[in-house]
Structure 1
Amino acid sequence: MTNMKMTSETHSTHISQQFNQELEEIRSNLLAMGGLVEKQVTDAIYALIEGDSTIAAKVRQNDKAINQMQLTIDEECTRILARRQPAASDLRLILAVIRATGDLERIGDEASKIARHAMHLVEEGESPRGYIEARHIGNQVRKMVQDALNAFARFDTQLAVQVVHEDKTVDLEYRSATRALVTFMMEDPRSISRVLNIMWVLRALERIGDHSNNIAEYVIYLVKGMDVRHSSPEAIEESLRDNLLADHLKNSKEDS
C-alpha cells in the first residue's frame, strides 16, 4: 500500500515537472525567435545606412525562418492547450507567447521591407535626405525590441512600461520626420523617388515600435493579469501602483 502511494506521488510530480518543462520550452523558443528578429532589425538598418545590398538580401532570405518559427511555436502552444487545459498564470503565459510571436513575425516582415527599400536605394545610387532620421529612429526601435524581449525574459513590468513610453516618443519623431521629408520633396520634385523609399523605411520602423509596444503590454498582462491595451503609459503606471498597493494590503491582512 505504501509503495502504491509513493508511485502515485512520483507520477504526479513527473507530470508537473514535464508541464513546467513544456512551458519553459515555449518561452525559450519565443526568446530565440526574438533574438533572430532583433538581428533582422539590426541588419536591415545597417544595410540601409551602409548601402550594403548583400546584407539586405540576407535579411529578406531569413524572413522565411522567422515565419517557420512562429508556426512551430503556435503548434506547441496549441498542443499544450489541448493536453493540459492550463489555468491562471499558465494560461496567461501561453496566450502571451502566442500573441508575442505574432508581433515578432510582423517585426520580421517590417525588417524585410526596410531591406527591400535599402536595395532600391543602392540601385539608385545617390543618398537621399532622411538617412539621419532613419538612423536615429532605427536605433530607438532596435532598443525597444531588445527591451521588450528582456522584459519578457525577466517578467519585468517596469521595463515593459519603459517600452510603452518609448513608443510614444518614436511616434512623435516619426511624424516630425515625415513632415520634413514631405516639405523637402515639394521643394525638389527630382528627389521624390529616393525620399519615398526613406519614408517607407520610417513607416516600417514606426510599425516595429508599435509591435514592440504590444509585446511589452503582453508582459504586463502575463505578470499582473491586467489588459492594458489602448491605455496610456500614465494610466498603465497608475494601474500597476494600484495593483501593488492591493497586493501589499492583502499580504498585510494575511500576516496579521
Structure 2
Amino acid sequence: MPDRHISSQYDADLEHLSSRFFAMGGLVESQLSDAMEALSRFDMGLVERVIDEEHRLNAMEVEIDAECSNVIARRQPIASDLRRLMGFSKGISNLERAGDEARKIAKRARKIANDSAGRNMDIAEIRSSGRMAGIIFHDALAAFARLDAVEAARIMREDEAIDEQYRALVRKLPTYMAENPRIISSALDYLSIASAIERIGDHAKNLAELVIYVVKGKDVRHIPRAQLEREALGD
C-alpha cells in the first residue's frame, strides 16, 4: 500500500508538471501569434500585451524549474522518468527564449509603425516564416505531449524551410535599401524580426530534439539528419 501511494503521488507530481509546462507553451504560442498580428496590423495594444507577458513567462520558468528540481530530489527517478523531468527542465528554457523572441518582434513592430515607408514594404517572407514558425512550434509541443519521436523528426526537417525564408529576405533587403535609402531603418528592423522568427524555429527544433531524447534516451543534437531520423524510428 505505501508503495502504491508513493507511485500515485509521483504520477500526480508528473501530471502537475506536465500541465504547467504546456500552459507555459500555450502562453508562448499566444505571444508569437499576437506579435505577428501586431506586425500585420501595427496594433499597439497587441504589442503591449506581448511585452507585458514577459514577467509572467519568466515567473513560470523559475517556478517549473524549481518544481522539477524538487521532484528529482524527493523521488530520485531513473531512466525514462528522469529523462522526462530533464525534458521539462530543458524545455522551459527554450519556451522562455522563444517568448523573448516574440517580444523582440513586437518591439520592432512598434518602431516600424512610426515609419510610413517601412509600413509599406513587401515582407512576404516574414509573414510566411512567421506562420511556419507558429505551426512547427505548436507541433513540437504536441509531439512533446504525445512523446512522438517520429513527429519530432519531421518537425526538425520543417525548420529548414524557415531558414530558407530568412536567407531569401537577407538576399532581398540590400536591393530595397539601395533603391530607397529612407527605408533602411525599417529594413533593419524587419531583418531583426526575421532573425527572431528563425530563432523561434530553432527553439521548436530544440523541443523536438528533447522529445527524441526523452523517448529514445539519445542525445541527437549536432548529428546528421539521416542518423537523427534513424534514432527517431528506433532503427
Q: Does 1:239 align with 2:231?
A: yes
* Structure 1 partner of 2:220: 228
Instruction: Judge conservation of contact 1:130–1:195 (CA < 8 Å) in 2.
Output: no
* Structure 2 partner of 1:171: 163
Deviation at 1:80, TM superposition (A): 0.8
**More deviation in 167-176 or 126-135?**
126-135
Larger radius of gyration: 1
Instruction: Judge conservation of contact 2:150–2:232 (CA < 8 Å) in 1.
Output: no
Q: Does 1:206 align with 2:205?
A: no
Task: Select the residue among 11, 23, 26 that pairs with 1:35.
Answer: 26
User: Which ranges of structure 2 fall in alignment gaps of 5 or more residues?
Assistant: none
* Structure 2 partner of 1:11: 2
> What percent of counterpart residues are identical?
41
* Structure 1 partner of 2:40: 49
Instruction: Judge conservation of contact 1:128–1:191 (CA < 8 Å) in 2.
Output: no
For residues 198 and 224 of structure 2, the distance between their equivalents in structure 1, rounded to whole angstroms, comes to 17
Count the aligned residue pairs.
234
Q: Does 1:70 align with 2:58?
A: no
User: Which ranges of structure 1 fall in alignment gaps of 5 or more residues?
Assistant: 1-9, 245-256
- Quick one: which amino acid aligns to residue 107 of structure 1? A
Partner SS, residue 176 of structure 1: helix
Deviations 1:30-68 (A, max 9, x none): 111000100100000000011111101110001111111
Partner SS, residue 114 of structure 2: helix
Cα distance change of structure 1 residues 130 and 94 upon mapping to structure 2, 3 Å threshold = farther
Deviation at 1:70, TM superposition (A): 0.4
1:155-166 alignment runs, 5 A limit: 155-166=147-158
For residues 197 and 90 of structure 1, the distance between their equivalents in structure 2, rounded to whole angstroms, comes to 43
Q: Does 1:219 align with 2:211?
A: yes
Which runs of structure 1 show a deviation greater than 4 angstroms over 4 or more consecutive aligned residues? none
* Structure 1 partner of 2:186: 194
Deviation at 1:237, TM superposition (A): 1.0
Deviations 1:139-179 (A, max 9, x none): 00000110000000111112111110011121122112111
Deviations 1:95-144 (A, max 9, x none): 11011000000000000000000111112234142421111000000001
**More deviation in 202-211 or 80-89?**
80-89
1:101-180 alignment runs, 5 A limit: 101-126=92-117, 127-180=119-172
Q: Does 1:82 align with 2:76?
A: no
For residues 108 and 122 of structure 2, the distance between their equivalents in structure 1, rounded to whole angstroms, comes to 13
For residues 43 and 226 of structure 2, the distance between their equivalents in structure 1, rounded to whole angstroms, comes to 41
Partner SS, residue 9 of structure 2: helix
TM-score (normalizing by structure 2): 0.96
TM-score (normalizing by structure 1): 0.88
